[in-house]
Amino acid sequence: METSLPTPWQQALDKLRDWARINSPWAIHYNSGSCNGCDIEILATLTPRYDIERFGIKLQGSPRHADVLICTGPVTRQSRDRLLRIYEQMPDPKFVVAVGSCGISGGAFRGCYNIVGDISAVIPVNVYIPGCPPRPEAIIYGVVQLLETLKKPVA
Amino acid sequence: MNNLTVPPLIAFLFFPGGLFLMFGGMAYEWIDRKLVARFQNRIGPRWFQPLADVVKLLSKEEIIPQGVDRILFYLLPVLALSAALASALYVPIAGFAPAYSFKGDLVVTLYMLSVLTLCLGLAGANTPNRFALIGATRTLTQLFSYEAPFLLALLGPAIVAGTWTIGEINFYTQLHPWQMILTQPLGFVVALVGLMGKLELPPFDAPEAETEIVAGALTEYSGRGLALFRIGKNVELLIGLTLVSAFYLGGVGNPLLFVVKTVGLLFVMAVLQSLFARLRIDQTVGLWWRIGALLALLNLLVVALFRALA
Ligand code: SF4
């Protein structure tokens, strides 16, 4: 590891990279065991009415193309491996957004025999969006919060 | 009404080679996305969206999946982009005379434009992912269906102009601006729709149908490779629009005419994109061979007859 200060050239490049990252978050959506309520709200978020292409957000089919994993629901024992695999398949840098109270704590399913736990029990989560289910506005707000954190330099 | 010329080095690096084409291609991608968004009653992406997408992809990690041929995996995006860029040298981009031209460069250009699709197919076949494999098969199937009608459609003006050099055809159409579109409307339609098939735009996006096969041939590509393929596609969009407007819409004589004609074509393409739903791959092939190829052949026959009689 080099410890020298970044050159102006490097700083400019870093700025450019951060700008691009903030303005083009491509998302992938995974349901790790939710009741589908949250997923329907996410799909509503993608409709022309809310038009998240304004922010450059695009739903991608392939984890390899995605930057943001939008994850709903508690993690069931069956979907744990799939969730992990999807997370591993995403190229760095990657971020996780947990949608719904189930993703935060297990919600209505907390303590069920078939539940591993909330999403942070399996993969690191960057942003939580509460609600059962959260409204599309809340989901957009959460993703924007995630993008705001990218603007600040990580110490 | 002659075209302007540019010195070779500038032609190679900035205009109409590398930089201009990449940024121009992104601008056209934005216009396309914005128009489609407006047709769907959305606001649509911001003007720098394609640039942000590409920069982000370039700065991302590139994962090389297990079981691929590493050299091919690295090489194919580069090859695709460079073929697309190279074909621009023979095309009157932005109304300037082609940087290079020789007898029969029309055929070479068309083949160079197909290299991108070929690379896409190979890239899909190279990865062991089953979605990528299906995507690759569909890409190549589609290549075989639209390529012949598209070529036939572009041959019509070439035969009328009596030359197979793109620059000279462009010059000829500038002298007779209304002749091509009025005498060969069939060819124009086939060429325009063929361009949409070439670029895998809806309704011909079965090869990358995200609702069925994830992302088609590019499923396993991340970061750099994906970015290069995207730029290549944008460049091809720009070149294809230039070709069609040079051949059918009375040529591209200066930058203003170029912008007006290509954006007009893009508008029509955006309307078609939002109007039609995706065709199945067998429907695509059927459409091209049952209707497209026949129309293009008919067009060619009429042109040849007139030429023989005149
Ligand atoms: S938070 Fe509510 S809507 Fe979302 S998965 Fe849990 S129970 Fe369903």
- ipTM score assigned to the predicted complex: 0.77
| A 4-43 near B (Cβ less than 8 A) | 16-17, 19-21, 23-24, 26
Handedness of CA B61, B63, B69, B73 (dihedral sign): negative
Q: Tell me if A73 CB under 6 Å of ligand 1.
A: yes
CATH classification code of A26-149? 3.40.50.12280
Report the alpha-carbon distance of residue A31 to residue B213 in Å, rounded.
18
A26, A56, A64: residue with CB nearest B63? A64
pLDDT(A1) > 60? no
| DSSP SS3 for A6 | coil
CB contact under 8 A, B219 and A60: no
Contacting residues for A55 by C-beta, under 8 A, at least 6 apart: A23, A25, A140, A143, A144, A147
Chain B CB within 8 Å of residue A81 CB: no
B42, B56, B63: residue with CB nearest A24? B56
Q: Tell me if A133 CB under 6 Å of ligand 1.
A: yes
Pick the range with the lowest mean pLDDT from A125-134, B171-180, B262-271.
B171-180
| DSSP SS3 for A31 | strand
Measured in degrees and rounded to the nearest 5, phi and psi for residue A86 equal -60, -40
Q: What is the pLDDT of residue B95?
A: 63
Handedness of CA A62, A68, A73, A78 (dihedral sign): positive
Which of A22, A46, A53 has the most B C-beta neighbours within 10 Å, making it the best mutation to test the interface with B? A53
pLDDT(B223) > 50? yes
Q: By the 8 A CB rule, do B251 and B170 touch?
A: yes
Report the alpha-carbon distance of residue A124 to residue B16 in Å, rounded.
47
Radius of gyration in angstroms for the set of CA atoms belonging to chain A, rounded to a whole number? 17
Q: For residue A71, give the H/E element and its range.
A: strand A68-72
Q: What is the pLDDT of residue A155?
A: 43
Between CA B36 and CA B42, with CA B37 as vertex, the angle to 5 degrees is 155
Q: How confident is the model at residue B113 (pLDDT cuts 50, 70, 90)?
A: confident
Pick the range with the lowest mean pLDDT from A5-14, B51-60, B73-82, B230-239.
A5-14
Q: How many CA atoms lie within 13 A of B256 on its CB side?
A: 0
Q: For residue A129, give the H/E element and its range.
A: strand A127-129
Tell me the CA–centroid distance for residue A65 and ligand 1, in Å: 27
Tell me the CA–centroid distance for residue A23 and ligand 1, in Å: 29
Q: What is the pTM of this model?
A: 0.82
Q: Which of A31, A32, A34 to mutate to test the pocket of ligand 1 (most atoms within 8 A of CB)?
A: A34
Contacts 24+ apart (CB under 8 A), B156-159: B156/B180, B156/B184, B156/B187, B156/B296, B156/B299, B156/B300, B156/B303, B157/B184, B157/B187, B157/B247, B157/B248, B158/B106, B158/B247, B159/B300, B159/B303, B159/B304, B159/B307
CB contact under 8 A, A61 and B215: yes
Q: What is the pLDDT of residue A109?
A: 85
pLDDT(B176) > 80? no
Domains of chain B, residue spans: 8-309
- Cα torsion B215, B217, B221, B226 to 10°: value is -80
Q: What is the pLDDT of residue B210?
A: 66
| DSSP SS3 for A98 | strand
Q: How confident is the model at residue B1 (pLDDT cuts 50, 70, 90)?
A: very low
Domains of chain A, residue spans: 26-149
Number of helices (H) and strands (E) in chain B: give both, helices first: 14, 0
pLDDT(B3) > 60? no
| Residue of higher predicted confidence among B122 and A3 | B122
Report the alpha-carbon distance of residue B253 to residue B265 in Å, rounded.
16
pLDDT(B4) > 60? no
pLDDT(B149) > 80? yes
pLDDT tens sequence across B189-222:
888 888 888 887 777 776 676 666 777 777 778 8
Q: Of the candidates B265, B264, B83, B251, which has an alpha carbon nearest to the alpha carbon of residue B180?
A: B251
pLDDT tens sequence across A19-68:
888 888 888 888 888 888 888 888 888 888 888 888 888 888 788 888 88
Place of tokens 């197979």: B164
- A25 to chain B nearest CA, in Å? 8
Region of A5 (left: φ > 0; alpha: ψ -120 to 50; beta: rest) is beta
| Residue of higher predicted confidence among B246 and B98 | B246
The rounded percent of chain B whose pLDDT value lies above 70 is: 87
pLDDT tens sequence across A69-105:
888 888 888 888 888 888 888 888 888 888 888 888 8
Which of A49, A55, A64, A88 has the most B C-beta neighbours within 10 Å, making it the best mutation to test the interface with B? A64
